Amino acid sequence: MSSVASDTKDRPAEPQHGPSFLWRNRFQIAIIGMLVVLYAVFLIGDWRTYTSFDIYRSFMISIPFFGIMALAATYVVTLGEIDLSFPSIYGLAGWAFSAVYVASGSFPVAFVVCILVGVVGGLVNGLLVTKIGIPSIVATIGTMFLWRGLVNVLTQGQGIPIAQITDDPWHKLFVGQIPLGGPVVIPAQFIWFVAAALFFGVLFKRHRFGSHVLFVGDDEQSARMMGIHVDRVKIACFVILGVSAAFSSVFLLNQMLFFWATTGDGYLLTTLAAVFIGGTSVFGGKGTMIGTFVGVLIIASLEPGIISIGLSGFWTQFVYGLLITISVSIYALMLKRG
Amino acid sequence: MSETEPLLVLRNIRKSFGRVEVLKGIDLEIGKGEIVALVGDNGAGKSTLIKVITGVHKPSAGEIVFKGQPITLKNVQASRLLGIETVYQERALADQQELWRNIFAGRELTRFLGFLDVAAQKRETGRLMRSGMGLTSRAITVDSEVKGLSGGEKQSVAIGRALYFDADLIILDEPTMGLSLKETERVLAFVRSIREQGKSAIFIDHNIFHVHDTADRFVILDRGRVVGQFHRSELTHQQLVDMMIALHEAGQVA
Ligand SMILES: Nc1ncnc2c1ncn2[C@@H]1O[C@H](COP(=O)(O)OP(=O)(O)O)[C@@H](O)[C@H]1O
Ligand SMILES: [Mg+2]
């Protein structure tokens, strides 16, 4: 403590009336409310399906395929940046995993190469944005085509079957089924997803790194003046997303047992939609990992939910659009008032 | 370090942005326990000069000597570690973040492996608010975002942050800008208290009365050059005012 601060007598703490718990967590509360309403509709529309465990098991199988990326993308969006290339990194890393696995027969080797591809993909994005100075939306359009194009060249459009991987002991670690008695079986990848959510959540709000991400996203100039290594923080966020994309592809491939040249392509908009529905601000400086987590649950439940309550699949996109538009409008209004 | 040796010496500091030379060879000394005012028109290069001292900008040429040692400042962390704290003109706060994050931005209190000691950051922020910063409004807590604060309150946060870290040299760039009379008085009292602690300060302000009442020495900057230096005893208020007007009109010190 400086002596200026301490030579004035500390006053007794007055009762403080700062922002209340509810107000501070208004974004998280809004989205959890949305999830509750949605499930109320599903339960009313199709009681049988939504009271049996099967549908939740199928959610738990498929959610991690994009959910982990949504958690990681929360960092990039909080920076006020965007990444459109992670589905292509997913594809390239997935190709590396399959090709190396087929060639070497070693799961760990394939896994390490796959993750390295994710690191390089994220690093390239981060360097383009910070050192070359290209806005992230433009830079990652470039790398999106670059990595997907590379996959096309490498595979000539051919897929890679990896059915033999089910005999590998590592396979179970990623997509094994964990019986909890009766019909309740938890897919391993869902445990990974929950672990990732806890890890990313703590890193975000309770670690120096997360504090720096928030500060950089909020005011880059201030962050620089406070000695935060702005470029390093940004590069790290892109790498986290690249690695998460690579990691997620391992789950998908172990579940599907086949690599397609298009692997990962469908996840761009669902992943980003989950982040934005979750309440992370596109302007940067404000983000919530709980919001993204719930956003992922909402996005994943929509399509099956729409069908099971008796609407045709043609409604899916319309309902997505409705939900995204309404939620981001609510958040924007909250931000204006706050 | 001897008693008479200056705390900070700048020798022939130059800084260009692209082809524009903003600092054209600055020589400056700051003594121990001395408060030096930098005065000069907008665009004279005052903020740029202090950003060279804090490591925000790298000088294009010149030498910085701090506590007798020549130093190169790779970044802001480096100057902070040496004991230089700054209240930037821009305040360098992040609007949407809580006070407890703003106070410790860039040098968070951590427990292990970089995990924040949130409780300590909140506790210290609370203590600083009640004592050093004078933020006693019941509507403001350590969890408040900067966004909702008044200009004076924001400045209190920026100054409180600089004082917390017990620096040897405190730099304040136009700290009274946009403040009420009462808030301004408080800031000037802060600046004077720096000298009482035997620390040094560089103080930038456009108000000649603030400068004359507070600083030991005035350094006049004009278009990237030091054009005059005076001890407080050498000049009255009025002479300083006249000099600034002459500089403004004729472009040189009379
Ligand atoms: N980062 C920068 N890039 C380019 N020009 C700059 C930059 N910072 C300051 N300048 C220019 O340098 C000159 C001095 O600015 P500044 O140091 O802010 O002056 P003062 O603080 O004395 O008003 C101005 O002409 C300003 O436009
Ligand atoms: Mg200035």
Ligand index nearest the alpha carbon of residue B51:
1
Q: Domains along chain A?
A: 52-174+181-337 (1.10.3470)
CB distance B154 to B91 below 8 Å: yes
Mean pLDDT by 10 residues, chain A (338 residues): 38 54 82 90 88 90 96 98 98 98 97 98 98 97 98 95 95 94 91 97 97 97 94 98 98 96 93 94 92 94 83 84 88 77
**Does residue A338 sit at the B interface (CB-CB below 8 Å)?**
yes
What tens-digit pLDDT sequence spans chain B (254 residues)? Answer: 455 789 999 999 999 999 999 999 999 999 999 999 999 988 999 999 999 999 999 999 999 999 999 999 988 889 999 999 999 888 899 999 999 999 999 999 999 999 999 999 999 999 988 876 777 777 889 999 999 888 888 988 998 898 888 899 999 999 998 888 888 888 898 888 888 888 999 999 988 888 888 999 999 999 999 998 999 888 888 888 888 888 777 766 55
Q: Does B111 lie in the same domain as B86?
A: no
Task: Report chain A residues whose CB lies below 8 A from the CB of B199.
Answer: none
Nearest Cα residue to atom 24 of ligand 1: B43
Two tokens at B156? 């209190």
CA distance B162 to chain A (A): 10
Nearest Cα residue to atom 13 of ligand 1: B43
Q: Is B69 helix (H, G, I), strand (E, B) or coil?
A: strand
Q: Does B179 lie in the same domain as B69?
A: yes
* Domain count across chain B: 2
CB distance A175 to A255 below 8 Å: yes
Q: Does B138 lie in the same domain as B44?
A: no
Task: Report chain A residues whose CB lies below 8 A from the CB of B163.
Answer: 2, 4-5
B31 falls within a domain: yes
Q: Do B160 and A1 touch (CB under 8 A)?
A: no
Q: Does B133 lie in the same domain as B29?
A: no
- In angstroms, what is the C-alpha Rg of chain A? 22
Please list, in sequence order, all residues whose beta carbon lies within 8 angstroms of the beta carbon of residue B62, skipping any fewer than 6 positions away: B10, B11, B12, B13, B14, B25, B26
- Domain stop point among B109, B128, B144: B144
Write the single-letter amino acid at A286: K
Q: Does B168 lie in the same domain as B135?
A: no
Two tokens at B234? 């050498």
Please list, in sequence order, all residues whose beta carbon lies within 8 angstroms of the beta carbon of residue A150, skipping any fewer than 6 positions away: A92
- Domain stop point among B144, B172, B206: B144
- Domain stop point among B144, B178, B209: B144
State residue A127's pLDDT score: 98
- Using CA atoms, how far apart are residues B132 and B187, in angstroms rounded to an integer? 11
Atom of ligand 1 nearest to the CA of B45: 17
* Strands B217-222 vs B35-39: parallel, antiparallel or unpaired: parallel
Task: Report chain B residues whose CB lies below 8 A from the CB of A1.
Answer: 124, 127, 164, 166
State residue A253's pLDDT score: 97
**Does residue B137 sit at the A interface (CB-CB below 8 Å)?**
no
Long-range contacts from B137-140, C-beta under 8 angstroms, 24+ separation: B138/A14, B138/A15, B138/A16, B138/A17, B139/A17, B139/A18, B140/A18, B140/B99
B2 falls within a domain: no
Atom of ligand 1 nearest to the CA of B40: 22
Residue with tokens 């409180």: B160
Q: Does B131 lie in the same domain as B105?
A: yes
CA distance A168 to chain B (A): 35
Can you list the alpha helix ranges (DSSP code H) found in A105-229?
107-127, 136-155, 169-175, 188-206, 208-218, 220-225
Q: Does B115 lie in the same domain as B75?
A: no
Please list, in sequence order, all residues whose beta carbon lies within 8 angstroms of the beta carbon of residue B191, skipping any fewer than 6 positions away: B35, B172, B175, B201, B203, B214
Of A16, A207, A285, the CB nearest to B96: A285
State residue A1's pLDDT score: 35
Nearest CA in chain A to B52: A225
Q: pLDDT digits over A300-322, tens only?
A: 988 888 888 888 878 888 888 88
Q: Does B217 lie in the same domain as B166?
A: yes
Q: Does B236 lie in the same domain as B156?
A: yes
CATH of residue B182's domain is 3.40.50.300
State residue B138's pLDDT score: 74
CA distance A254 to chain B (A): 33
Please list, in sequence order, all residues whose beta carbon lies within 8 angstroms of the beta carbon of residue B16, skipping any fewer than 6 positions away: B22, B60
**Percent helix, strand and coil across chain A, each to the nearest 5:** 75, 5, 20
B1 falls within a domain: no
Of B17, B19, B203, best ligand 1 pocket probe by most atoms within 8 Å of the beta carbon: B17
- Using CA atoms, how far apart are residues A146 and A150, in angstroms rounded to an integer? 6
Nearest CA in chain B to A286: B96
Helix axes A188-206, A208-218, angle to 10 degrees: 70
State residue B111's pLDDT score: 95
**Does residue A11 sit at the B interface (CB-CB below 8 Å)?**
yes
CB distance B188 to B210 below 8 Å: yes
Please list, in sequence order, all residues whose beta carbon lies within 8 angstroms of the beta carbon of residue B239, skipping any fewer than 6 positions away: none
Give the domain range for residue B109.
97-144
Q: Does B118 lie in the same domain as B49?
A: no
The dihedral built from the CA positions of residue A56, A61, A67 and A72, taken in this order, carries a sign that is: positive
State residue A13's pLDDT score: 45
Q: Do B90 and A222 touch (CB under 8 A)?
A: yes
Q: Does B69 lie in the same domain as B32?
A: yes
CA distance B157 to chain A (A): 12
Q: Does B166 lie in the same domain as B64?
A: yes
State residue A12's pLDDT score: 44
Site residues for ligand 1, CB cut-off 6 Å: B 17, 22, 40, 42-48
